[in-house]
Structure 1
Amino acid sequence: MTRLGYGRGLACALAGASLWGVSGACAQFLLDGYGVTPSLVTAARALIAAALFAVLLAARHRRAVAAILGDGAAVRAVCLFGVALFLSQITFAASVGATNAGTATVLQSLGIVIIMVVSCLRARALPRPREAAGLACALAATWLIATQGDPGALRLPADGLAWGLANAVAVAFYIMYPKRLYARFGSLPVVGCSMVASAAVAVALWLAGGLWGAPPALVPLDAAGIAVLAVGVGALGTFAAFGLYLVGVAAVGPVTGGLLGAVEPASATLLAALWLGTAVSPADAGGLVLMVAMIVLVSVAPPSAR
């Protein structure tokens, strides 16, 4: 437990995961309305978030940043954390490309299973009943929202399965790995420095042509497009989302934090309905109910040290 407190940690993690839905809806708006490429969105969101984190760290956390930079082992650990943050985004994009958005989302949710299994093995204990029930609700909700309850909507070619599992591992890693770094330097300085490292990787790969050899392309945006990219995708969907979520995870632990991270598809569904006019189907409604049940189960459970 960190000084943030369990209740505030829950609120931060839930808010951060919900803001990922903002990023998804805004990215969809840019991809469909302006023809922006996924690689450009990934590089731009990382660069904007890194710049905002750099300003925040310079203003309020200079001592912690200096301590990190003065320790070679800490620098390597933070850079590894940053690479994991980047990999979680690029492997999800690759998973979507090899399968579809619904299948990729379902495969990504397996990261929650990995977190729970590893945590239970470390603690040499079975999951708490509320944790197990919350996991079942989160997985069922994700499946309903992502596939609309149709098993035929899942596409699992070998490369898609490989990318999806890699994405799940990357998500589990970046949630679990920095626990000791948080305890030593504080969660926000660690997250901020890691996001800067992630942005460096994302921008370098975009300039180099990405993973698939596509040349970097800039797309002209009007004022609305620039605002959506800068505020919706960069500031809210990445800077605030990752900052709030990972600071919350530092307080509530990786198991609870991983479960709360499953709120993203529900948030994206609600925002798409309110902003883009997408209809809410019965499957969406059922998934939202299950997601609320998961949140209730997690919120009333005692704090976990795992």
Structure 2
Amino acid sequence: MSYNNTAIQYSRTKGIALVLTGAILWGVSGTVAQYLFQKQGFNVEWLTVVRLLLSGMLLLGFAYSKEKQRIWQIWKSKREALSLVLFSLFGMLGVQYTYFAAIKHGNAATATVLQYVGPALITCYLALRSKRLPTIKEGVAVVLSIFGTFFLVTHGSIHSLSISGWAVFWGISSAFALAFYTLQPHTLLAKWGSTIVVGWGMLIGGVGLSFIHPPWAFEGHWSLSAYLAVVFIIIFGTVIAFYCYLESLRYLSASETSLLACVEPLSAAFLSVIWLHVTFGFAEWLGTLFIISTVVILSIKKKATS
């Protein structure tokens, strides 16, 4: 009995460490991207297309080493192939591009927090689709996300924005893209697994963007720190972060991982303030708290009904 309890506790500790690692790496990679955009002159399109192409190839290579046949079988069904292409172009590419654009026009802290409005949008969509009113908890979460967004983008004043209009536009667009990214591939993920679906999603999204902005059309200034930043975003901020998050689901419930993943916007905010000297006052922290609270509320609700 004691051995079983120890094993369970070890598994939970391992799961917590994995999800925290993945979420922190995601948050840090956003701040590293801000450094590339604002200090090294990189453009959003180039970093997005390179991140998608290389990360997609790495993930599919990992999937190929474990499931050689399955990575091709997903294309045999026309319906699944179409669903995968839609996910790739509007989900994967959409969420990656809008997130980076929000960072470019604002900062990583604000962009990451605004993306976390996504769960509230998902809640509203599911309620509409089910032709029902949101529950009290869902309603509270949506209201908190609205107030959080207000404080985050206005500094608490109705007369002006604390960030540019484009930063607000791309940040909210990122939340909508995240909602689509989360909801649309549900059937594909259940059948084929996250590594194959996300690997193809990244690769196809990267190929699609290449027709608009090819990976050799580079703008910016290369330096040792810039090279290291690009490698960090692709390897640590995408592939390793993705692997850690998925691996954590083996040891924790989905609601627990959602709660723990809230360290992502916090890590992005702290690093932006400390490293890039982004101004983040009381109103911004209050807005961040409100938006993260929506994820906490919705995750607790899912846990209670599971």
Q: State the TM bucket, normalised to the shorter chain.
A: 0.7 to 0.9
5+ residue gaps, structure 1, are 1-6, 209-214
Q: Which digits, 9 at most, give the CA deviation of each residue in 1:49-106, with x for residues without a partner?
A: 1132122112223343132133333222112111021123334566788x86699778
User: Shift in Å at residue 200 of structure 1?
Assistant: 1.3
Q: Tell me the residue number matched to 1:224.
A: 225
User: Shift in Å at residue 225 of structure 1?
Assistant: 1.3
- Whole-Å separation in 2 of the counterparts to 1:246 and 1:127: 29
User: Which one is further off, 105-114 or 18-27?
Assistant: 105-114
| RMSD of aligned alpha carbons | 4.3
Please say which structure displays the higher CA radius of gyration: 2
User: Shift in Å at residue 41 of structure 1?
Assistant: 1.6
Q: Tell me the residue number matched to 1:38.
A: 44
- Whole-Å separation in 2 of the counterparts to 1:260 and 1:143: 24
- Whole-Å separation in 2 of the counterparts to 1:118 and 1:133: 15
Corresponding position: 1:287 with 2:293: no
Corresponding position: 1:83 with 2:65: no
User: Shift in Å at residue 21 of structure 1?
Assistant: 2.6
- Whole-Å separation in 2 of the counterparts to 1:127 and 1:11: 34
User: Shift in Å at residue 221 of structure 1?
Assistant: 1.9
Q: Tell me the residue number matched to 2:5.
A: none
5+ residue gaps, structure 2, are 1-12
Q: Which digits, 9 at most, give the CA deviation of each residue in 1:103-144, with x for residues without a partner?
A: 977875664443212211333443343333333334433443
Q: Which digits, 9 at most, give the CA deviation of each residue in 1:237-265, with x for residues without a partner?
A: 3334556668889x748xx96x9888754
Check whether the contact 1:69–1:75 (CA below 8 A) recurs between aligned residues.
yes
- Whole-Å separation in 2 of the counterparts to 1:241 and 1:132: 31
Q: 1:290 to 1:168 in 2, by over 3 A?
A: closer
User: Shift in Å at residue 269 of structure 1?
Assistant: 1.0
TM-score normalised by L of structure 2 = 0.72
Q: 1:135 to 1:17 in 2, by over 3 A?
A: farther
Q: Which digits, 9 at most, give the CA deviation of each residue in 1:140-186, with x for residues without a partner?
A: 334433433233107897x9998777554433211100111112112
What SS does the corresponding residue of 2:212 show, helix, strand or coil?
A: helix
- 1:246-261 equivalences under 5 Å are 252=254
Corresponding position: 1:175 with 2:182: yes
Q: Tell me the residue number matched to 1:153.
A: 161
Letter in 2 for 1:190: V
Q: Of residues 178, 185, 192 in structure 2, which corresponds to 1:185?
A: 192
Check whether the contact 1:106–1:146 (CA below 8 A) recurs between aligned residues.
no
Q: 1:124 to 1:13 in 2, by over 3 A?
A: farther
Q: 1:155 to 1:274 in 2, by over 3 A?
A: closer
What SS does the corresponding residue of 2:214 show, helix, strand or coil?
A: helix
What SS does the corresponding residue of 2:303 show, helix, strand or coil?
A: coil
User: Shift in Å at residue 195 of structure 1?
Assistant: 1.4
Q: Tell me the residue number matched to 1:58.
A: 64
- 1:1-306 equivalences under 5 Å are 18-84=24-90, 85-91=92-98, 111-151=118-158, 152-153=160-161, 167-207=174-214, 216-231=217-232, 233-241=233-241, 252=254, 265-278=265-278, 280-291=280-291, 293-303=293-303
User: Among the aligned pairs, what percent are the same residue?
Assistant: 27
- Whole-Å separation in 2 of the counterparts to 1:297 and 1:87: 26
TM-score normalised by L of structure 1 = 0.72
